[in-house]
Chain A
Amino acid sequence: MKKYAYFPGCSLKGLGRGYEESLLPVMERLGVEMVELDDWNCCGATAYMSIDEKQACVLAARNLALAEKTGAGDLVTPCSACYLVLNKMKHYIKESEEMRTTVRRSLDGAGLSYSGNTPVRHPLDILVNDIGLDVIKEKVVRPLTGLKVVPYYGCQVVRPYSTFDDAWNPTTMDRLLATIGAEVVPYPLKTKCCGASLTGTLPKVGLRLTYILLREAARRGADVISTICPLCQFNLDAYHDQVARRWGPVPVPTVYFTQLMGLAFGLPAKQLGLNRNFVRMKPLPAAHAPA
């Protein structure tokens, strides 16, 4: 049985809980053990870097040190911001003597240590490169045949620290979606920014970025957008009425790729957190059900 240390991040306990609700049963179905880090803290996300760089580094370092302590192997984190920040801080600590000193001193005080040897990885990477598409295919009981899915990656998993896919034209999720039977819609905007927190802080700009992504998905006839990031999911799902007021309705639902996997594995939609969407995905046609 494969085993990983699991860092959920704050979003998966809040706005992005549908992600965790689908990720864990899917991993379980595949025989993967996810050991949640004991007492993990916020990764610092994008905001803390503009408050204090060294403290931001210490926030990440505590989690990395906790992961080493578990000895569970690679650290898996589903949120794009967590994935980016934890990887970024590994680079910082390695490159900068000043950061290393700061981190060492603060970890010493807490009886923790950090060697830099734990890889920080995304579930998409784990699923496709460790577990394998052939194993995933064996678990599919209800292929998503005929479902047109846009693979949307967003920015922070593929840039700039990703080790498993291309920064502009990633294909890992495309292959995964095809494996579970979906029709993958070509989508040139797959790594374009969703607007991040600008949707809330500066809607005039942020909502336009969100709208561009939704409209392009609709124009290409997508039934659903598949995402790997809790903030992308929130932006593409929870602002539909504000987008509609400005530019007209673009009612394409956005779900996590793990929710689509769960459906293909035959898990009930409600158990996968699909009922948490503002714009709900239509139930799969009966024709897709196993005979």
Chain B
Amino acid sequence: MIQVLRTVKYEAERVKGFGREIMSVPGCENLASCIQCGTCSGTCPLSVYMAHSPRQIMALVRADFKDEVLQSNSIWLCASCYACTTECPREIRVTDIMYALKLRAIREGAYPKHFPIPILAKEFSRMVRSKGRITETLLVMRLFMKANLRAVLGAWRQGLGLIRTGRFVILHERIERREELEKMLASVEAGEANPSPKDLP
């Protein structure tokens, strides 16, 4: 059966202002000057697995196609190797734009339920916030519980190997001054909710 797909995008699918919003994130400003050369896609070791190449993502963001971008698997496949950022002739920080997109997809819940990559980011930040440090083995266990219990079965050998080699840590690493850190992180949220006049640029 031949599948017929529409390749033209409709004006109605744009979420106006989305591109500008991304370009206002610190580090993401240069997207405006993208020349669509495709160097990012050419250097990317993951682009062959992506639904949209990095170059396409850049074009879609700038043209405000928010939903298509946030639902693309491309943003999650970015492994932060910074090849694109190093090579972009317009000095666009493609990796950081990918972070800005992941952040919005997570905040808006625009990812498939039980999809491990955003769950890992969320659990990671939770552990940092409560303990100040990451205990990798405990983080992975939480990921399995939230994302895919069956995966535990597939990973049992690796778990045993880690125990055998003395790398399976079961006690949380934590910092002493957790309150200090929490206060610091909370001050960011307070500042965003209620910026004092002297903080405004």
Contacts and interface: CB of A to CB of B under 8 A. Distances in A.
Interface of A: 10-11, 13-15, 17, 39-42, 44-55, 58-59, 62, 84, 92, 95-99, 101-102, 105-107, 109-110, 155-156, 159-160, 167, 192-193, 195-198, 200-202, 205-206, 209, 238-239, 241-242, 275-278
Contacts of A15: 136-137, 162, 167
A11 B133 CA distance: 10
Given A167-B86, A196-B81, A205-B49, A14 B187 contact: no
B133 to A, nearest CB: 5
Interface in B145-183: 147, 157-158, 161-162, 165-167, 169, 173, 175-177, 180-181, 183
B136 A99 contact: no
Nearest to A208: B49
B41 interface: no
A193 B45 contact: yes
B125 A48 contact: yes
B184 A156 contact: no
Contacts of A45: 124, 134
B121 interface: yes
Contacts of A109: 183-184, 187
Contacts of B103: 49-53
A54 B118 CA distance: 18
Given A14-B135, A39-B175, A101-B199, A51 B188 contact: no
A160 B188 CA distance: 27
B175 A160 contact: no
B63 interface: no
A45 B27 CA distance: 17
Contacts of A52: 103, 125, 188
Contact of B106 (A51, A101, A155): A51
B125 A41 contact: no
B26 A239 contact: no
Contacts of B143: 200-201
Contacts of A10: 133-136, 173
Nearest to B45: A193
Interface of B: 25-27, 45-46, 49, 76-77, 79-83, 85-86, 96, 99-100, 102-103, 106, 116-118, 120-122, 124-125, 128, 132-137, 140, 143, 147, 157-158, 161-162, 165-167, 169, 173, 175-177, 180-181, 183-185, 187-189, 191-192, 199, 201
Contact of A110 (B99, B100, B116, B180): B180
B196 to A, nearest CB: 9
A215 B53 CA distance: 26
A183 B181 CA distance: 47
B128 A41 contact: yes
Nearest to A193: B81
A38 to B, nearest CB: 8
A276 B77 contact: no
Nearest to B138: A14
A47 B120 contact: yes
Contacts of B46: 193, 198, 205, 209
A276 B165 contact: yes
Contacts of B118: 50
A278 B26 contact: no
B79 A197 contact: yes
B140 A159 contact: no
Given A52-B103, A97-B201, 15 more contacts: A14-B137, A15-B136, A50-B99, A51-B124, A53-B25, A55-B185, A59-B185, A96-B26, A101-B191, A102-B188, A193-B79, A205-B49, A209-B79, A276-B167, A278-B165
Given A50-B103, A105-B199, A276-B167, A160 B79 contact: no
